Structures are given as C-alpha cells and as structure tokens.
C-alpha cells in the first residue's frame, strides 16, 4: 500500500480544485455541481464546502446523481440503489460532474447518459480527485484534476473519507 495523498495533501488538493472551478465560473450563476453516487459524493461535498467559503451558499446549485441503471459494465445481481437528487434545471447550464477516481471512463459515460434525463446542459465539465490516465477505455478526460497517477490494471486506487472510513487519504493498493 502506497499513500498517494495524505490528509493534508487531500485538503490542499480540494482547495485548489475549488479555486480552479471559481476561476472558470466566477459567480457560479449559470453553473451547477453534480456529484456521482456513491463514492464521488464525499469528494463533491468537500468541493461544495470549499466553494461556500468564497460565494454565498444560496448561489451554489448542488445535486447528486445515481448512475446505477445507466452502467454498461455491471450486469450481475441486484444493485444497491443510491438517491438522485437534482432539485433544479440543468437546461443550458454549465454542469460540473464530480467524481473521486477517473479510471476507464465508463462511470462518466453512464453519468452523461443519466444527465440527459434531466435536460440538455449547455456545457459539461469533469472534476476528479484522481486520474488514472493510462487505464481509459473511452475518450474521456477531466477538466479539473487533483492528481494524475500511472498505475497498472492490477492496482486499485482507494479514497478514504472520515465519515465513511474514519480517515482521509488516497492510497494505491
């Protein structure tokens, strides 16, 4: 097990990514943030917390997207359902999808399919904590990246969050 980001580095990375979002979407007026269930929510919650320190909380439109039934790579058995909560229109909005690890790109493809059920966004951007760049199966790349790593297929990237795992760090297993 190798640590990619320790707790302090993780906090700094989240702060940097939220600042980059603000650089491109200064007042967040026409921008919505959508975390991908289940593991992307911990990360997207942190990004939104950071953004609230810079813009009034009421200007942040934040939703959560469950992509379970849009996936093409998980077919067996019953799936644990998560809740989709998008209480606003995404029609012609700048949508920033947020997930913890970008690996094959299939999760993001499923999220893009699911998004279309909620309207037609003006633009979609992707914010990820970890980009496993040499593992892509689809032509998807992040607009905001916390850290890019090179790993082999047999390795796993695990993101630990305090409220779920009791600690905060990113490791390569």
pTM: 0.93
Cα–Cα distance for residue pair 9/31, rounded to 1 Å: 27
Task: Single out the residue of 94, 92, 103, 99 nearest to residue 148, CA to CA.
Answer: 103
pLDDT score, position 79:
55
For the chain, which domains are there? 7-70+83-151 (3.40.50.2020)
pLDDT score, position 74:
60
Cα–Cα distance for residue pair 63/24, rounded to 1 Å: 19
Cα–Cα distance for residue pair 14/170, rounded to 1 Å: 13
| Tens-digit pLDDT string for the chain (173 aa) | 999 999 999 999 999 999 999 999 988 989 999 999 988 999 999 999 999 999 987 889 999 999 988 877 665 555 566 788 999 999 999 999 999 999 999 999 999 999 999 999 999 999 999 999 988 999 999 999 999 999 888 899 999 999 989 999 999 99
**Tokens encoding 119:** 């309207």
CB 13 within 8 A of CB 76: no
């Amino acid at each position: 097990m190798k640590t990619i980001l320790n707790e302090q580095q993780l906090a700094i990375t989240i702060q940097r990514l939220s600042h980059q979002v603000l650089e491109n979407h200064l007042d967040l007026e026409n921008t919505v943030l959508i975390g991908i269930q289940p593991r992307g929510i911990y990360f997207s919650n942190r990004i939104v917390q950071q953004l609230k320190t810079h813009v009034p909380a009421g200007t942040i439109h934040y939703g959560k997207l469950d992509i379970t039934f849009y996936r093409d790579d998980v077919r067996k058995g019953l799936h644990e359902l998560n809740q989709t909560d998008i209480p606003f229109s995404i029609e012609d909005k700048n949508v920033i999808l947020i997930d913890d690890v970008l690996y094959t790109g299939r999760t993001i493809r499923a999220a893009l399919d699911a998004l279309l059920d909620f309207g037609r966004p003006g633009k979609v951007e992707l914010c990820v904590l970890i980009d496993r760049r040499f593992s892509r199966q689809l032509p998807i790349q992040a607009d905001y990246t916390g850290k890019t790593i090179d790993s082999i297929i047999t390795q796993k990237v695990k993101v630990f969050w305090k409220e779920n795992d009791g600690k905060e760090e990113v490791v390569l297993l």
